[in-house]
Amino acid sequence: MNYNKVTPNIISQLESIAGKENVYLDEEHLKQYSHDETEDLKFYPEVIVKPRTSKEISELLILANRENIPVTPRGAGTGLSGGALPVFGGIIIAMERFNSILSIDERNLQATVEPGVINQVFQEAVIAKGLFYPPDPASKGSCFLGGNLAENAGGPKAVKYGVTKDYVLNLEVVLPTGEIIMTGANVLKNATGYNLTQLIVGSEGTLGIITKIVFRLLPYPSQTLLMLVPFASAAKACEAVSAVFVAGITPSAMEFMERDAIDWVLKFVEVNIEIKDTIQAHLLIEVDGNDADVLMKDCEKISEVMYRFGCDEILLAETAAQKENLWKMRRRVAEAVRSHAVYKEEDTVVPRAELAKLLTGIKEIGKKYGFRSVCYGHAGDGNLHVNIIKEQLSDEEWNTKLPLGIREIFELCVSLGGTISGEHGIGWVQKGYMDIPFSEKEISLQKGIKSLFDPNHILNPGKIFV
Ligand code: MLT
Ligand code: ZN
pLDDT of 390-399, one tens digit each? 999 999 999 9
138 within ligand 1 shell (Cβ under 6 A): yes
CB-side neighbour CA atoms (13 Å) of 295: 18
Task: Tell me the CA–centroid distance for residue 335 and ligand 1, in Å.
Answer: 8
Among the four given CATH numbers 3.20.20.140, 3.40.50.300, 3.65.10.10, 3.30.70.2190, the one describing domain 223-331: 3.30.70.2190
Name the fold adopted by 341-433. Alpha-Beta Plaits (3.30.70)
| Domain pair 223-331 / 341-433, same fold | yes
The reported pTM is: 0.97
Type of residue at 327: W
CATH architecture of 101-219: 2-Layer Sandwich (3.30)
CATH architecture of 8-96: 2-Layer Sandwich (3.30)
212 within ligand 1 shell (Cβ under 6 A): no
The 10s digit of each residue's pLDDT in 21-44 is 999 999 999 999 999 999 999 999
Task: Tell me the CA–centroid distance for residue 169 and ligand 2, in Å.
Answer: 23
Asked if 73 contacts 463 with a C-beta cutoff of 8 angstroms, the reply is: no
Question: In the chain, where are the structural domains located?
Answer: 8-96, 101-219, 223-331, 341-433
pLDDT (tens place) for every residue of the chain, 466 residues total: 899 999 999 999 999 999 999 999 999 999 999 999 999 999 999 999 999 999 999 999 999 999 999 999 999 999 999 999 999 999 999 999 999 999 999 999 999 999 999 999 999 999 999 999 999 999 999 999 999 999 999 999 999 999 999 999 999 999 999 999 999 999 999 999 999 999 999 999 999 999 999 999 999 999 999 999 999 999 999 999 999 999 999 999 999 999 999 999 999 888 888 999 999 999 999 999 999 999 999 999 999 999 999 999 999 998 999 999 999 999 999 999 888 889 999 999 999 999 999 999 999 999 999 999 999 999 999 999 999 999 999 999 999 999 999 999 999 999 999 999 999 999 999 999 999 999 999 999 999 999 999 999 999 999 999 9
| Ligand 1 binding pocket mutation candidate from 81, 136, 333 (most atoms within 8 A of CB) | 333
Residue owning the nearest CA to atom 7 of ligand 1: 334
Asked if 352 contacts 366 with a C-beta cutoff of 8 angstroms, the reply is: no
